[in-house]
Amino acid sequence: MINKKIKYFIITACIILLAIIFILPVFLTIMASFVDEEKINLILGSNTWENMISPAKLSLSSYDQLLFDFFPFYRLFWNSIIYSTLITFFALLVGFLAGFSFYYSKYRGKKVIYIIYILLMMMPLQVTILPNYIGLREMNLLNTPYAIILPLVFSPFGVVILRQYMSGLDVDIIEAARLETSSIIRILIKVVAPQIKVCISAVTLFIFVDSWSIVEQPLLLVKDQKLKTMTTLFSNTIDVGMDIILAASVIYLIPVLILYCNFSQHLEEGLALGRVSIHD
């Protein structure tokens, strides 16, 4: 019995340790943003444990420099906010309509189209960015905000997840609602949407985060510095000081952390990714 208890204790300790390791990068980022530049340079200079844990003065100088001396930051931050909000809103709208269409309507070839959506969802950016680029070039949209927004609005991810979740819905509810009204918009808003609330919030969170963290699109699809996003700041530690970047990282993480803390439960229920399959 005692043996079993020790085993139990060890496993529990291991899990907790792992959990701490997983949180550590976020914790360290926040910590590092509050120390002075000297200490950061010390760590970067020689990466030893003594340097890491040696006492450091608490200071707000990183934030001070970021907010008062580094004005491009405001532009980049604002761009990120605008892009992510617009992408999330329109992707959700388009995805909800398409997801419903896949779920409800019946016609030949629907399954083939749906398989194309799933395959497209699996494709990494190496594959999709060139088609995106060509499509935008043909429409003369390169180097405009639309270059970043439009391809992501039509990303198949939301469609697939919403449709997959809707497959658990009872069609009878919609048929019953059709007796009351013939307006598809009313049925979608009043009947379908409330049933899949969990999935909608999961998809909202996921799309927002996805568009909040885009790196390649602002790099390759727009040239104008004024149109870039915050993420371009993080790959570029040479022009901008490490301390400024650390402070910017914390500000960059805050919206996502707030969203995650509020929606984490929806995320697990709503994504239901394990259910993604082309058989049904």
Partner 1 sequence: MSFHTKSKLCLLPSLGGILVFYLIPYIRVICYSLIKSQFKKNFVGLKNYKDVLSNEYFQLALKNTLLLILVAVPLIVVFALILSIILVTRTKWLHKTRFAFVMPMVLPAAGVITIWKMIFSSFDSALPIYTLFFWKNTGILIIILTAALSTIEKEVMEAAQLDGVNNFQKHRYLTIPLIFPSILFSLLLSIVNSFKIFRESYLYYGNNYPPDHSYTLQYYMNNHFLKLNYQKLSVGAILTSFIILIIIGLGLLIQRRFSSDD
Cα gap 23→145, rounded to integer Å: 34
Residue choice 10, 60, 130, 193 for contact with partner 1 (CB under 8 A): 130
- 28 near partner 1 (CB under 8 A): yes
Query: Is 140 in a helix, a strand, or coil?
Result: coil
Query: What single letter denotes the amino acid at residue 266?
Result: H
Cβ of residue 171: shortest distance to partner 1, in angstroms? 11
12 or 85: whose CB is closer to partner 1?
Answer: 12
Residue choice 6, 125, 176, 193 for contact with partner 1 (CB under 8 A): 125
Residue choice 10, 12, 74, 186 for contact with partner 1 (CB under 8 A): 12
Greatest CA separation found in the chain? 73
Which residues lie closer than 8 Å to 244 by C-beta, 6 or more apart? Answer: 62, 65, 66, 70, 73
Cβ of residue 184: shortest distance to partner 1, in angstroms? 5
Which residues lie closer than 8 Å to 243 by C-beta, 6 or more apart? Answer: 33, 36, 37, 40, 61, 62, 65
Please choose, out of 59-67, 71-79, 135-143, 164-172, the segment that lies near partner 1 by the rule CB under 8 A. 135-143
User: Total residues at the site for partner 1 (CB under 8 A)?
Assistant: 97
Of 24, 42, 27, 26, the C-alpha closest to 242 is: 42
- 131 near partner 1 (CB under 8 A): yes
- Footprint of partner 1 on residues 186-245 (CB under 8 A)? 205-206, 209, 212-213, 215-216, 219-220, 230-231, 234-238, 242, 245
